[in-house]
Amino acid sequence: MTALVSATGLTKHFAVRGGSFLRRHTTALRAVDGVDLQIRSGETLGLVGESGCGKSTLGRLLIRLIEPTGGRIDFDGHEITGLSTKAMRQHRRAMQIIFQDPYGALNPRMSVEDIIMEPLLIHGARADAATRAKVAEALRLVGLPARAAQRFPHEFSGGQRQRVGIARALVLNPKFVVCDEPVSALDVSVQAQIVNLLQDLQKELGLTFLFIAHDLSVVKHISDRVAVMYLGKVVEVAEKHAIYSAPQHPYTQALIAAVPVLRPQDRARGRRVRIAGDIPSALNPPSGCRFHTRCPHVMPICRVQEPALTEPAPAHHVACHLVNPV
Amino acid sequence: MNLPDAPSRPDAEADIQDVPIHRQHPAWMTLRRLFRHQLFLTGIGLFGIILAAAILAPIIAPVDPTKLAMRYKFRPPDGTFIFGTDNFGRSLWSRVIWGAQLSVVIGFSVVLLNAIFGTLIGALAGYFRSLDNGLMRVNDALMAFPAILLAIGVTAVLGPSTFNVILALAVVYIPRTARIVRSSVIVLREMEYVQAAVAAGAGHWRILRRHILPNAMAPLIVQLSFLFAYAVLSEATLSFLGLGAVPPTPTWGNIMAEGRQYMSEASWIITIPGIALMITVMGLNLLGDGLRDVLDPRLRIQQ
């Protein structure tokens, strides 16, 4: 399978202002720092990591909602970094996003029909019967009745709003959809419905998903491959089964070990990894390997040299000195 | 779009069954809540009296407010002269009502100029970060002057006239309005529905017009209703100081300035326009409080 979306050395530094009025200085917050990532056509790539590790920023960079500081993005065979707003508009129909907060993602002053119709209008449709029919079709696709079109967002529940958000993302018939924690804000029972809906839609429409989440069991359910991020870096990428059964990076091991299991006595012994402390600040990330401050297997080299992303097993990429000794 | 037929999704039925049937437009709901709000209704009532007087001035006050009649000077309010007469025998009823018209016209003009230019400056500064610093430093410089002092300064330079009063008050208040709009725009710009519009390929103009400004209107409308009160009050202050419309054109400010000399013998001359001013300002403030409670509930004073 070929890569639909490909990031090379993708970097985003946010400027953070500090200091007094007279002695102002800016510090770079390294939200995403040199990420290489391929998303294959038709797959779901899960992206996991702690809050603040840059996974949302990465998702938004890939569809150019945020301008990258450095690096390159290729989409469907075209480099899209550096394209003007106008040139970018051609590609926008093929890449969409679903947001976490079903309340903030819908304009409270627009009816559901207007919300779903807007992307069509931007891409040259007129507000006529044919366009309204497309909106009705999109509503049906996400399992909402046609009468929902005339309602306003405040009249819906969280799950229903999330369906409206999905309909808006799909109405342009995109290839690639960034799902930015689409179920994190929903009740568990509704989460399952939305996850199943996304899976059904992917099969029917041949979509490619980047599924951002911090809930590892949801990611395990929906993903084909999983990427693990820590402090602006991708530390491990592999097939879902490889990640969950044989995680290589100590951080991934700790994440997997932290997933609650029904029968704790069944948990494999000896592999249990615990990490202490908080995620360091992205304003001043640790030298060498960024995980060395919390890693249980830290070695002298980890403090000095940053490990590169290598491929110790086929299709299993890890950035760790343990796996790839220098 | 060539979407395939959607299969029925039994898992979704529980979630979608309560999709409401009755349409509830947000604007309609807001109106209904406003007309149940006691403060708002009181404010509308008080301000309505002044507004009606201003609109109906030629009908209810047919006597020329500038017509002198020395024979009738210093008549206290009675059956012939409803509000009495002043030191030149002019009908105070006519003068106060025509003064109301001038106050309403000036207040409304200042509000309109603020709505246009305050929104424009605030939206540009809040949305385009590159313009923010330049626009807001000019704004801050204007806001550093006490409001009434700046208005006096501007009218003193331009000379006293109705138009110059409107101009002076607009210059004084537009920076304040712009700040309020800017702060809403900065918050709204980061909303996810704005991000969704960017992802769909929307241009800046569409985003501002469809997504940001409609949602920034609530605090602006509240501000403008208070601004109307400030403008009427400031106009009266300027006229009182002789910097407003030129006499003999009646304004509440210059009626009070003339009446001040006869406060002990003919107290009605200064009292009646004072009461009219009080009714206007109180009505507009109550109206603004009501609007704020309904449109902008986060600002409601905790009780």
Average pLDDT rounded to a whole number, residues A230-237: 93
Q: Do A117 and A169 form a contact (C-beta atoms < 8 A)?
A: no
Looking at residue A200, its pLDDT comes to 94
Q: Give CA–CA dist A66/A69, Å, rounded.
A: 9
Do A159 and B15 make contact, defined as CB atoms within 8 angstroms?
yes
Do A104 and B16 make contact, defined as CB atoms within 8 angstroms?
no
Cβ of residue B199 closer than 8 Å to a chain A Cβ? yes
Closest CB to A143: pick one of B16, B196, B197.
Answer: B16
Q: Is residue B226 part of a domain?
A: yes
Within 8 A of A65 by CB-CB distance, chain B residues are 195, 198-199
Looking at residue A223, its pLDDT comes to 94
Q: How far is CA A169 from the centre of its chain?
A: 15
Which of B253, B235, B233, B263 lies closest to B86, judged by CA? B263
> Does the pLDDT value for residue A258 go beyond 90?
no
Task: Please enumerate in sequence order all residues whose Cβ is within 8 A of that of B294, keeping only pairs 6 or more positions apart, or say none.
Answer: B30, B33, B34, B37, B40
Do B202 and A123 make contact, defined as CB atoms within 8 angstroms?
no
Q: If pLDDT is split at 50, 70 and 90, which confidence band does A214 have?
A: confident
Helix (H, G, I), strand (E, B) or coil at A212: strand
Q: Is residue B107 part of a domain?
A: yes
Most trustworthy range by pLDDT among A12-21, A30-39, B73-82: A30-39
Residue B191, Ramachandran bin (φ over 0: left; ψ between -120 and 50: alpha; else beta): beta
Average pLDDT rounded to a whole number, residues A267-290: 77
Q: If pLDDT is split at 50, 70 and 90, which confidence band does B123 have?
A: very high
Q: Do A36 and A46 form a contact (C-beta atoms < 8 A)?
A: no
Indicate which of B15, B29, B137 best probes the interface with A, i.e. most A CBs within 10 Å of its own CB: B15
Average pLDDT rounded to a whole number, residues A292-299: 88
Average pLDDT rounded to a whole number, residues B225-253: 91
> Does the pLDDT value for residue B160 go beyond 50?
yes
Nearest residue in B to A174, CA atom: B1
Helix (H, G, I), strand (E, B) or coil at B75: coil
- Scan for tokens 């960017």, then name that residue: B198
Looking at residue A267, its pLDDT comes to 64
The strand pairing partners of A237, in sequence order, are: A227, A317
Looking at residue B5, its pLDDT comes to 45
Average pLDDT rounded to a whole number, residues A187-216: 92
Q: Give CA–CA dist B54/A211, Å, rounded.
A: 63
Do A196 and B26 make contact, defined as CB atoms within 8 angstroms?
no
Looking at residue A270, its pLDDT comes to 52
Looking at residue A1, its pLDDT comes to 54
Q: How far is A115 from chain B (nearest CA, A)?
A: 9
Q: A3-17+27-246: which CATH number, 3.40.50.300, 2.30.30.100, 3.10.20.30, 2.60.40.10?
A: 3.40.50.300
> Does the pLDDT value for residue A18 go beyond 90?
no
Q: How far is A223 from chain B (nearest CA, A)?
A: 21
Give pTM, 2 decimals: 0.84
Q: What is the mean pLDDT of chain B?
A: 86
Within 8 A of A95 by CB-CB distance, chain B residues are 199
Q: If pLDDT is split at 50, 70 and 90, which confidence band does A274 have?
A: confident
- Kind of pairing, strands A95-98 and A176-180? parallel
Q: How far is A301 from chain B (nearest CA, A)?
A: 41
Longest alpha-carbon distance in chain B: 92
Q: Is residue B144 part of a domain?
A: yes
Average pLDDT rounded to a whole number, residues B216-221: 90
Closest CB to B200: pick one of A92, A99, A155.
Answer: A92
Q: Give CA–CA dist B52/B134, Å, rounded.
A: 43
Indicate which of A75, A97, A109 best probes the interface with B, i.e. most B CBs within 10 Å of its own CB: A109
Indicate which of A88, A106, A107 best probes the interface with B, i.e. most B CBs within 10 Å of its own CB: A107
Quick: pLDDT tens for B258-301. Answer: 989 988 888 898 999 999 999 999 999 999 999 988 887 665 54
Distances (CA, A) of A184 to A140, A192, A222, B8, B177: 24, 11, 14, 25, 38
H-type alpha helices, chain B: 13-16, 26-34, 38-55, 57-60, 92-113, 119-127, 129-143, 147-158, 162-189, 192-199, 204-206, 213-240, 252-259, 268-295
Which of B303, B3, B179, B113 lies closest to A169, judged by CA? B3
> Does the pLDDT value for residue B10 go beyond 60?
no
Average pLDDT rounded to a whole number, residues A155-167: 92
Task: Please enumerate in sequence order all residues whose Cβ is within 8 A of that of B24, keeping only pairs 6 or more positions apart, or say none.
Answer: A151, A152, A155
Distances (CA, A) of B270 to A105, B1, B83, B159, B259: 56, 73, 11, 25, 5
**Contacts A–B by Cβ distance under 8 A:** 127
Which of A248, A254, A241 lies closest to A309, judged by CA? A248
Q: Give CA–CA dist A47/A7, Å, rounded.
A: 14
Q: Give CA–CA dist A34/A38, Å, rounded.
A: 13
Within 8 A of A156 by CB-CB distance, chain B residues are 19
Cβ of residue B210 closer than 8 Å to a chain A Cβ? yes
Parent domain of B197:
94-299
Q: What is the mean pLDDT of chain A?
A: 89
Quick: pLDDT tens for B48-101. Answer: 999 999 999 888 877 888 888 878 788 888 877 788 888 887 888 989 999 999
Looking at residue B1, its pLDDT comes to 43
Q: Is residue B81 part of a domain?
A: no
Q: How far is A267 from chain B (nearest CA, A)?
A: 32
Looking at residue A17, its pLDDT comes to 79
Q: If pLDDT is split at 50, 70 and 90, which confidence band does B17 have?
A: low
Q: How far is B137 from chain A (nearest CA, A)?
A: 15
Q: Is residue B44 part of a domain?
A: no
> Does the pLDDT value for residue B173 go beyond 50?
yes
Q: Is residue B11 part of a domain?
A: no
Average pLDDT rounded to a whole number, residues B111-134: 94
Percent of chain B with pLDDT over 70: 90
Looking at residue A25, its pLDDT comes to 78
Most trustworthy range by pLDDT among A167-171, A307-311, B219-223: A167-171
Q: What is the domain-level CATH number for residue B187?
A: 1.10.3720.10
Question: Lowest-pLDDT range, A91-100, A164-173, A203-212, B6-15?
Answer: B6-15
Task: Please enumerate in sequence order all residues whose Cβ is within 8 A of that of A3, keeping only pairs 6 or more positions apart, or say none.
Answer: A38, A39, A40, A41, A74
Quick: pLDDT tens for A106-152. Answer: 998 899 999 999 999 999 889 899 999 999 999 999 999 988 998 88
Nearest residue in A to B197, CA atom: A119
Q: Is residue B71 part of a domain?
A: no
Q: Give CA–CA dist A255/A253, Å, rounded.
A: 5
Quick: pLDDT tens for A50-92. Answer: 888 899 999 999 999 999 999 999 999 889 998 888 889 889 9
Which of B125, B1, B249, B220 lies closest to A131, judged by CA? B1
Q: If pLDDT is split at 50, 70 and 90, which confidence band does B24 have?
A: low
Looking at residue A29, its pLDDT comes to 87
Do A193 and B11 make contact, defined as CB atoms within 8 angstroms?
yes
